[in-house]
Amino acid sequence: MNTLSTFARFGKTNDKMLRLSEAKMALVYTRVSSKEQADTNLSLEYQRKAIDDYAQRNNISVAGYFGGTYESAKTDGHKEFQRMLEFIKKNKGKISHVLVYMLDRFSRTVGGAIKLAQELREKYGIEVFAVTQPTDTSNPSGVLQQSIQFIFSQYDNELRKQRSVAGMREKFKRGIWVAKPPIGYDVIKTNGVRKIVTNEIGKKIKKAFQWKGSGIKNEAILDRLRSMGVSLNKQHLTKLLKNPFYCGLICHNMLDGEVVEGEHEHLISKELFLKVNEIHQGNSGYGVPHKKQQGELPLKVFIKCNDCKEPFTGYIVKAKGLWYYKCRTKGCKCNKSAKEMHKTFVEFLCDYNIKEELKAPLLKKMEAVWKDINKESYELEHNYRKQFSAVKAKIEDIEESYYIKKDMNRETYDKFRLRFDNELKDINKYLSQLTIGISNPMAAIEKAIGISVELPTEWASSDIDHKNKLQKLLFPEGIVYDKKKGTFRTERVNSIFVLIASLSSVSGINERRQTGVNSRLSPSVRQRRFELPCPLKALPPQSSASTSFAIAASEGCKGNKNFLKEQ
């Protein structure tokens, strides 16, 4: 008589469940969501110790450790988690458990956590087991209990997030930046107080704002920054120049459009930030004009409207193939043919143009003026250096009295040392203001005269880059167009070219008499004559007006010496 025992060899067993009860090989996964938790009971070391103790008590061998980082658990896509999953796939059938301290250490995303736990359980026969939340997932009620724990983990995470966001928003409103600061800033802690301060890169970024404010193109700014060791791309530079954080303001999406004064150290003034962005808005895209427009509108942004002070932009009438400049302000109605505008600008340049035969006598005259001016400047420098040496000798005397002879007490030494140090500081300041900006000023003047000989023709026949250099060389702050008079005026002219035009006018060697120069300068320029718009104020009473001119002229050379060398 046949019995069922005869057919026992055909019976099937659940290999996975059998393996779970017999062979116990586990992986350990530890994680904290932020570095600050390293000081709490959720630290990586504490988690690992608790898991190892549990594994030892339950005869579970550990095949490998994963995690051990400060990564976030917003997703399960971080490197350590993926590495663990790859290990499981390569060692299929050898692992029985993934041991964690708590289920929220495994994952806080409910859908992802439940799905992953189910896949590990059904596909690989692996239990996700929390040593502080023991749950038997071999039955439906245990699986439900674990799923509920995952849900509560996410709920707890959302509550934490809500409280964190509320706290961050409140700090933002008080002007405290709690996120990572932009490039150019460091976060330091002094006596437990968090402060955001500028670093060495910040000092270079400050120069980028200043360069942009003076009208230098983004490509040139990027080149200069690269030469200083700061590598940025065009998009990053544009984003940087638009960030009001650098002028001391806080803008964040948590503030719902509100702008507040920040407590952090500001890099630039608000005035400079607005000036930079006024220029920036005149460019398209990331500040790089279309190639077709580059050659057709060289005066774009460089010219400003006399009425509204806005930079000019440009456009083309495609039907006629004609280019026009226009003021950016709506309703200003200041449109001008590019052809006519360029013609007017060339006429404007003629005021700084001299004939070839006048080059030699003008150079000789300028050399005489330069030497006469710098004679007094060098005398002042000599006097200051003598004063510097005298003060240094006094410092040596008091140091000998205090440290060697011991006939001077500390209080007296500190008093005199402070006074002498301040004197040295003042002398150094005066010396730095008297220093000539270039090593060979006459070579720079000769080069400037060479440019002036064919200035209108050279500008008209040059490419866009050379035109921009010539424009900035002569008029560092741009020019203003008066639509009523149809003429240009400027707030500032390079000091050497002012000198060229003025000496030509005074000497009578220029048949144009350069009468247009003075009339086209703003009143402030006419009053200062050869000086820059910001004259030196720190010079002592004995300095003369001619010395101020010498410094101003040398600064004019200094600011454009690289361009002069290229000619």
C-alpha to C-alpha distances, 234 to 219, 272, 297, 556, nearest whole angstrom: 8, 20, 22, 30
Same domain, 237 and 349: no
Same domain, 247 and 386: no
Q: Report the candidate in 536, 527, 515 with the shortest Cα–Cα distance to residue 377.
A: 536
Last residue of a domain, one of 288, 317, 349: 288
Span 200-212, mean pLDDT?
Answer: 91
Same domain, 372 and 466: yes
Same domain, 562 and 502: yes
Q: Would 332 be classed as within a structural domain?
A: no
Number of domains in the chain: 3
Same domain, 565 and 465: yes
Same domain, 154 and 204: no
Span 394-399, mean pLDDT?
Answer: 90
Same domain, 155 and 199: no
Tokens of 229: 């060791």
| Residue-wise pLDDT tens digits, 251-279 | 888 887 888 898 888 899 998 998 888 76
Same domain, 149 and 210: no
Same domain, 140 and 273: no
Residue 114: the pLDDT is 73
Q: Would 323 be classed as within a structural domain?
A: no
Same domain, 74 and 212: no
> Which DSSP letter does residue 316 get?
E
Q: How confident is the model at residue 142 (pLDDT cuts 50, 70, 90)?
A: low
Domain holding 67, by residue range, is 7-165
Q: The pTM is what?
A: 0.38
Q: Would 83 be classed as within a structural domain?
A: yes
Sort strands 127-130 and 303-305 into parallel, antiparallel or unpaired: unpaired
Span 42-69, mean pLDDT?
Answer: 83
Domain containing 193 — which CATH number? 3.90.1750.20
Q: Would 1 be classed as within a structural domain?
A: no
Q: Would 543 be classed as within a structural domain?
A: yes
Q: Would 202 be classed as within a structural domain?
A: yes
Same domain, 469 and 418: yes
Same domain, 498 and 531: yes
C-alpha to C-alpha distances, 246 to 108, 171, 279, nearest whole angstrom: 37, 18, 17
| Residue-wise pLDDT tens digits, 470-488 | 888 888 888 999 888 888 8
d(CA 265, CA 197): 6
